[in-house]
Amino acid sequence: MEKKPIEVNIAGTILQVKNDNNELEIQKATDLANHELEKIRKSNPNINRIYLMVMGCMNLADMYCQSENHNQELANKIQELTNDKDSLDQQTEEKNKQIEQLNQKIDELIRAQNSLKDQLDQKNDLLNQYRDHIKQIKEENDANRKSILDLQNKLFESQIELNKTQDDLES
């Protein structure tokens, strides 16, 4: 596809421009050039046309260089930020691995805690059974003591009665 020429007016000179850019971009560049040339002409109304064009080219070249420098600074900043992001992504991944490991340890500790709780519950149940058994044994022991005391009292009474009966028989 052949490029069609676009007509532009720079400082009163009509030029035919063939370019890859679209017509709006060419017009924008033309407006920028005319604006710079007009600034120079206002600051020095008697300026020679060739000198005006050279000064305009110099100013536009300076603007271009500044723009290129700024673009390079931005590219460097983007690279720096990309490196920072990559570093932060790596740190985040490492932290996520650490979190996962800690979560696994927490799960293990929870399982161990639950196991110990189950063991404690079993031992508490056993302790309660022992307490109930001890209480039952104490009650039986108290009942046996009472029975022994009752039997001792009966024996004592029987001995007294036996002694009386023997005394009565002897007398």
The structural domains of the chain, with segments of one domain joined by +, span 1-47
Are 6 and 23 in contact by the 8 Å Cβ rule? The answer is yes
Q: What is the pLDDT of residue 167?
A: 85
**pTM above 0.85?**
no
Of 25, 19, 15, 23, residue with least CA distance to 2: 19
Q: What CATH number belongs to 1-47?
A: 3.30.160
Q: pLDDT averaged over consecutive 10-residue blocks of the chain (171 residues)?
A: 81 86 86 96 93 95 97 98 97 98 98 98 97 97 95 94 88 75
Of 73, 68, 11, 77, residue with least CA distance to 39: 11
Are 59 and 36 in contact by the 8 Å Cβ rule? The answer is yes
Are 40 and 52 in contact by the 8 Å Cβ rule? The answer is yes
Which tokens in the block code for residue 75? 């590219």
Longest dimension (CA), the chain: 175
49-170 helix and 23-43 helix, angle to the nearest 10 degrees: 110
